Amino acid sequence: MMFFAAAFLAAWSLVTATCAGECPSGGEEDAVEMLQAHLTHEGRLHEDAEIRGAGLTDDPLCEILRNATWPTGRVLCGDAQMQTYGWDVYNQECAGLTPRFLLEPQTVQDVQTAVKFAREHQVNISFRGSGHTYDCVAFKAGSLNIDLRTLGSNVTISYSGGSATAKMEPGVNFAKMFATLPSTLSFTHGTCESVGVMGYTLHGGWGATTSTWANESIVEIEVITADGELRTLNAANQGNEAKLWDAMHVAASSFGIVTNLTIQLFNHSERSFWFLPVLNSFDYLLSVLPDETSFGWIGLARWDSVFYQKNTILGSGWFLQIVLKDDSMWTKAKAVAWIMSKLIIIGITYQSPYSFPSSAETWDLGRYPFQTASVFTRFYPRTEIRGAAKLLEGFFAQHAADCRYNLGPIQGTAPRLPLVTVECNTPSSAELLKQFVKENSNVLQPNRPGSGYIKLPLDGSSSYRQAYFPQYAQLSATKCIWDPTDFFFLENGIHPSGCDSARAEPVKK
């Protein structure tokens, strides 16, 4: 209070001295704006002093970065200051990749300044959104890390010609989208509300309740490229910008930092999604699971550490996932009739966990963060999906306490093939999963071109690259145009190959 009182008196003295009792009409409003600006300035100086007080650093580049992004960017440097940062990550290993500098930008210009700073001073760069990255590609030890969440979490809905779009800032997660959209609109999304919409959409975006990829809905991208320039990309781009537009749909983090994203929304309500605990065994459920039904899509899931309270697992622990094609009573009746006809037993005594994590603030409920995250996800032809699903369930059954499993929902004749996922969250189970995939590669086909889900790589390495990027050569050529030095380096991302040797030297890795 003493600080702000002193700042107020100093600022008001400045205002009155400026007006000298002769402010013109409207001058009072100008004086108030001056007062507010001065208080913001003084408050920022006070905050920066507190940050510096959290731990001194002898890194001269720290002050250069602070001065370059002042007064809007907040910069942390050194281990002591980093310890004041709330990591809010899904994979605890990410929090161990301590950056050299951490920037919380308030403006797009702050991010542009950071990119140019990193290039000039040969500093690795990394950037994060919601923190839900599985393989920690959003963090690099010793880098300049940019926390894009502080750019905002606003969603703007626009209507034109009978269609609707949503423009979002980097801090938007699924929970925010659900709260913002009217019930008459929907979009492709995942099931975990804490996932950031931007990262999910830009790297594919598979959702259980739609038959299209999230990246198919992208209308416009505002991105900062490796030269620090802000560019607007859309389907109208020509030449090299058209190539960048295409690349940003599948490997955005290898090409730039997205500051705003606009997507097309569906002009219909969300499909109803039933998530039912069942007592039947996996083998039985797999045997009755159809490729297609007249009422919707069906899948299976199990995640004991998240779906159940401790020591409350029912039956075999499995959940039946049903996505209804519409909300009519006839469709719901057909779904119930199918459940009864297949003698599927619903676990009516199921007790839901206290809550599912929906934002970084709720990740301290004992579920997130996990020790680590290793995810094997592949799409299989309908003739192969059950064999792969059964093989992976054999592994999962031995590690159910540390892993999760998801099959489908199988979407019949929809263009997307059905997928099966196993994720493990302890170092030992994660390593065993990698070994299992390698030992059973003849059935699982981990490197089959185009079979992998980019958002869920097995780890941070470039293993099984063809599964995620069957068009890798084309993407690498685009990388040569827009980032020939591999400034936005990701081990499992896209790298320039065969670029003009006359170009600048690459940033140190």
> HSE (CB half, 13 Å, CA atoms) of 2?
0
Query: What 8-state DSSP symbol labels residue 463?
Result: T
| pLDDT of 84 | 81
CATH 3.40.462 fits 273-466, yes or no: yes
- The CA-based dihedral angle spanning residues 164, 167, 173, 178, taken in that order and rounded to the nearest 10 degrees: -20
Task: Return d(Cα 423, Cα 364) in angstroms, integer.
Answer: 20
219 backbone φψ class: left, alpha, beta (φ>0; ψ -120 to 50)? alpha
Please provide the DSSP assignment of 82-136 as one string: HTTS----SBGGGGGS--SEEEE-SSHHHHHHHHHHHHHTT--EEEESSS--SS-
Strands 101-104 and 144-147: parallel
Task: Return d(Cα 322, Cα 375) in angstroms, integer.
Answer: 23
Task: Return d(Cα 186, Cα 202) in angstroms, integer.
Answer: 18
SS3 content of the chain, % helix, strand, coil (to 5): 35, 20, 45
Which is nearest to 330 in space by CA: 295, 366, 303? Answer: 295
| pLDDT of 458 | 84
Give the start-to-end residue ranges of the domains of the chain: 2-19+28-122+129-143, 152-264, 273-466
Task: Return d(Cα 80, Cα 163) in angstroms, integer.
Answer: 50
| pLDDT of 405 | 98
From first to last of its 509 residues, the chain has per-residue pLDDT tens of 443 344 333 433 433 343 433 333 444 444 444 434 443 444 444 455 454 444 456 799 999 999 999 999 999 998 888 878 878 888 888 888 899 999 999 999 999 999 999 999 999 999 999 888 888 889 999 999 999 999 999 999 999 999 999 999 999 999 999 999 999 999 999 988 889 999 999 999 999 999 899 999 999 999 999 999 999 999 999 999 999 999 999 999 999 999 999 999 999 999 999 999 999 999 999 999 998 899 999 999 999 988 888 778 888 999 999 999 999 999 999 999 999 999 999 998 887 765 555 555 544 444 567 889 999 999 999 999 999 999 999 999 999 999 999 999 998 887 789 999 999 999 999 999 999 999 999 999 999 999 998 888 888 888 899 999 999 999 999 999 999 999 999 999 999 988 874 344 433 33
CATH of domain 2-19+28-122+129-143: 3.30.43
Strands 374-379 and 419-424: antiparallel
Q: 152-264: which CATH topology?
A: 3.30.465
As given in the structure block, the two tokens for residue 455 are: 């958002």
| pLDDT of 48 | 52
| pLDDT of 56 | 55
Please provide the DSSP assignment of 15-63 as one string: HHHHHTT---TTHHHHHHHHHHHHHHHHHHHHHHHHHHHT-----HHHH
Task: Return d(Cα 371, Cα 427) in angstroms, integer.
Answer: 7
